Structure formats: structure tokens, C-alpha cells
Structure 1
Amino acid sequence: MTLLPGVLALALATVHVFAGRVRSFQVIPRSYWLSMAGGASVAYVFVHILPELSEGKTVLEGVVFLARFLERHVYLVALIGFALFYGLERFARAFGRDEGRGGMGIWVFWIHIGSFTAYNALIGYLLVHREETGLASLAFFAAAMGLHFVVNDYGLREHHENIYDRFGRWLLAAAVVVGWMVGSTTHINEPAVNTLFAFLAGSIVLNVIKEELPEERESRFWAFALGAAGYTALLLLTL
């Protein structure tokens, strides 16, 4: 069990390394595999992460003077994750293609990729420290994150094109492994783990939905719904 998170971290890293070679992802209408992957990762948030966190300990239970305000701590932290990545996406779309005016585009790339590098490191870290222990929980988390990485990889490659292939995907792949390494050598308490998972939950929802909603993507709702329903059924039957 000790080495398994490391093996899974390497497996997740390969998603970013090789996802760009899957030509069926690079089509319009949007590949139904991408929509299914998005549906599955969102289902994991709503069916597993949030229910588990809402039944757990208070995220900041030791901070008495904030306890009453933080009664809905899980949802507040998830909202912060959602809002943060929404703002990042708006920033990237507004300035990301402004290469002709002072090189703004390259700075946006590094800000965008830097944020997702930290995001991937967090996921690698949570392979070791999860809100629920056990082999099944680890397997479902890793599978959901692998599907989520496919969706993120497609969106980042479409937005940043060649520079993502040259630098971005390698940074994101390395970040997962680094996050796992840090997680393997450090320990944090359960409330802190819950806080990180809540932030991740809100971020996942935003990062999936922003890829599904744009009209020009011609996304496939039936595939998204099938992915969500299928992963929900697996979670309910297994965990």
C-alpha cells in the first residue's frame, strides 16, 4: 500500500505526457470520451468527496471563534476553489492570445500553467493523504483524477498549443510525482486534509464545466450524463 500511491502518481503523470497523441480527442464535435471523462470526475465530487467531507470533522475545529461562521466550511472552501479557477480561466482567455502586445501571452501561459502545476501537485499529495483510507478509495480517486487530467490536458493544449506540448505537459506530469513525494515525507491532520479535498472539489467542477459548456465545442450531453451515471453507480455499489 505504501508504494501504490507512487505507482499511481506515475500513471497519472503519463496522462499528460501521452494524451495529446490521441487524435480522437482533437475533433469537433467534442469527443464523447472527453465528455464521459468529465461526467465521471464531476460525479466523483458530488457522490463521494462532498458527502464524505460534510460528515467528517470540522475543517478548522480548533479555531473556536470561527466555528459558528464555518459551519458550512466544506462548501465555502469548495466555492473558493471554484471561484479561483473561474477567475484564472477568465484571465487566461482575456489575455492569453495577446502575443503581439508586449509578450503578454507568454506570461499568461506561465501563470496558467503554474496554477495547474500547483493543482496537480495537490492531487499527487492527496494520493497519500485522503479523506477516506483503503484500497478502493485510492483506486476510485486515482481513476477519477486520471479522467480529469484527460479533460484538463485537452483544454490546456487547445488554449496554449505548441508551448504546452514543449513545456506545459512535462511540468504538469512532474508536479503529480513531486506532490506524491512531498506527501510521502510529511503528515497533516484530518481537518487539513478535508480542507484540501474541499478546495479540490470546487476546482474540479469548474475545470470540467468550462470545457463542456462553450457552444463551439459541440459537447455531447448524453456522453457526459453516461459518464456521470456510470461512475455514480460504481461508487454507490463499491464504497
Structure 2
Amino acid sequence: MNPALVTAVMALAFCTVHVFVGRLRFLDRAPRSRWLSFAGGVAVGYVFLHILPELGSHAVAFERAIGLPPTLSESWVYALALGGLVLFYGIERALKISRGDRRAEEGRDRPEHGVFWLHIGASALLIAVIAYLLNHREEATTGGLVLFFAAMMLHLVTADYGARREHPELYDRRGRWVLVAATLAGWFVGTRLVLPPVVIGGLFAFVGGCIVLVVLKEELPEERKSYFLPFFAGAAIYSALVIGELHLAV
């Protein structure tokens, strides 16, 4: 089967999450839905068993492309991961502050429109990179692609649900279509443009940092009343699948 066709179907599946996450009524539960905790566990499992191990190999690409010593090259790779985490942390803080200020001044439990669109813009950048990486991963096996897709699909459920919760009206009216456009654009660029290995490594590192922050932001706050066992189950099941796939590839 044509690989581009397979990844196109996967990109369209990502788009269905953006469009229809508001209709997943089983997620709208108090306390928090166990499915969201499960999805968070899978996403974290992906980061620790796929992205972090691959950063070492990408550090070699940095070393060759930039001519830095091995230790310094590795530090740059992890600095990019930290950059992704810090970027989304800053946006989440801006959302929280804006929401609190508007609640105090206007009685509306919504962030300012500009801050919300900053959040959507950062999320669009992240999903564009994820869609691009559908066609350009370090591990180009079928099993690796399926695991990447499954982990990112569940991550998007968590991330999009959180984005919509901030401002449902704006998300449903325009925000979700921005994310759809970013997904399709990222996939299309991935079919036409092959970036140097050093850039691919940087993108992987950036995605890893972003996912860690998004997942922990959704799982850790006390008011979310998240669940440990579903989170653990998601991480454990995904870890077992990854390790099994690696054993079969040996």
C-alpha cells in the first residue's frame, strides 16, 4: 500500500478528533473521565519509550551537522525538548491568569480571546509537526508508525478536550478548523519536503517536551480529580506493545 495514502488516512483521523471532540460526551464527567487519564498514560509512555531513546541518535545528527562535541550536541537536543515544555507552560499560565482576571472583572469563566488564540496557535504548530512526522520518523517500520499514530491520536483527544474546555464557543466556531488546517498542512509538507536529520531530531525533541507538559497539566491539578490506575494502565499497556514490537524487530 502507498505509504502516503496510509499517513493521509491517519492525518484525517487526527482531523476527526479536532472536529468531533466536543461530541465525546463520555469525557464530560465529574470527576474526570478515566479515558482521559488512560490517554495521558499512553502519551507519556510514547515519550519515554520512543522519543527520549531516539534523542540519543538525533544527538549524533547534531554532532555531525554542527560539529559540536557529543556531550554538547546531546545537551542541545534536550534543550529543544525543554523549550517545548517551557513554551506550553507559559501559554497555560497565560490562560490561567487571563481566565482569573476575566472572572473577577466580568464574571465570565473564559480567557481573553487573544490569549485563547495564542493557545490555539501553539497547538496548531504542535499538530503540524506531529502530522509532518507521520512521514518522517527515525523508526520507519509499520509497527512503529502504528504505535506513533495510536499514541498521538490519544494525545490529541486529551489536548483538544483541554483546549475546548478553555473556550468552547471559540473552539467550535473556528478553533477546531485551524487545527484541521494545521494537520493537513503538516501532512502535505511531509509528503513534499524532506528536512535534514538535524531538523527532524529537533522536531522530535520539541514534540516530546510539549507532550509531557500537556499531559501533566491535565493530570496533576487536584481539581481535575484524575485517576492513577487508568493512567498507569495506559502507560503499562503501551509500554508492553512497544517492547513487544522491538523484540519482534530484533
TM-score range, shorter chain: over 0.9
**Counterparts of 1:155 and 1:104, CA distance in 2:** 13
Which residue number in structure 2 is paired with residue 87 of structure 1? 90
CA RMSD of aligned residues (A): 1.9
What CA deviation, in whole Å up to 9, does each residue of 1:92-125 have, x standing for no partner?
1111465568x97111111111111111111111
Moved over 3 A (4+): 65-68, 96-101
What CA deviation, in whole Å up to 9, does each residue of 1:163-182 have, x standing for no partner?
11111112112211110001
- Does the CA-based 8 Å contact 2:111-2:166 persist in structure 1? no
Q: 1:123-202 maps to which residues of 2 (within 5 A)? A: 123-202=130-209
Deviates more, 1:39-48 or 1:189-198: 189-198
Deviates more, 1:63-72 or 1:131-140: 63-72
> Structure 1 residue 23: deviation in Å?
0.9
Q: How many residues align?
A: 238
Q: 1:5-44 maps to which residues of 2 (within 5 A)? A: 5-44=7-46
Identity %: 48
Consecutive unaligned residues in structure 1, runs of 5 or more: none
**Counterparts of 2:81 and 2:129, CA distance in 1:** 14
Which residue number in structure 2 is paired with residue 72 of structure 1? 75
Q: 1:212-227 maps to which residues of 2 (within 5 A)? A: 212-227=219-234
**Counterparts of 1:157 and 1:56, CA distance in 2:** 34
Q: Give the TM-score normalised by the residue count of structure 2.
A: 0.89
What CA deviation, in whole Å up to 9, does each residue of 1:67-93 have, x standing for no partner?
653333332211111111111111111
Which secondary structure state, in structure 2, belongs to the residue aligned with residue 3 of structure 1?
Answer: helix
Which residue number in structure 2 is paired with residue 63 of structure 1? 66
**Counterparts of 2:124 and 2:74, CA distance in 1:** 31
> Greater share of helix residues, 1 or 2?
2
Q: Look up the equivalent residue of 1:121 and give its one-letter code.
A: A
Q: Look up the equivalent residue of 2:38 and give its one-letter code.
A: M
Deviates more, 1:66-75 or 1:220-229: 66-75
**Counterparts of 1:140 and 1:89, CA distance in 2:** 28
Which residue number in structure 1 is paired with residue 213 of structure 2? 206
Which secondary structure state, in structure 2, belongs to the residue aligned with residue 30 of structure 1?
Answer: coil
**Counterparts of 2:153 and 2:140, CA distance in 1:** 19
Distance 1:42 1:65, change over 3 A: closer
Consecutive unaligned residues in structure 2, runs of 5 or more: none
**Counterparts of 1:71 and 1:45, CA distance in 2:** 17
- Does the CA-based 8 Å contact 1:40-1:228 persist in structure 2? yes
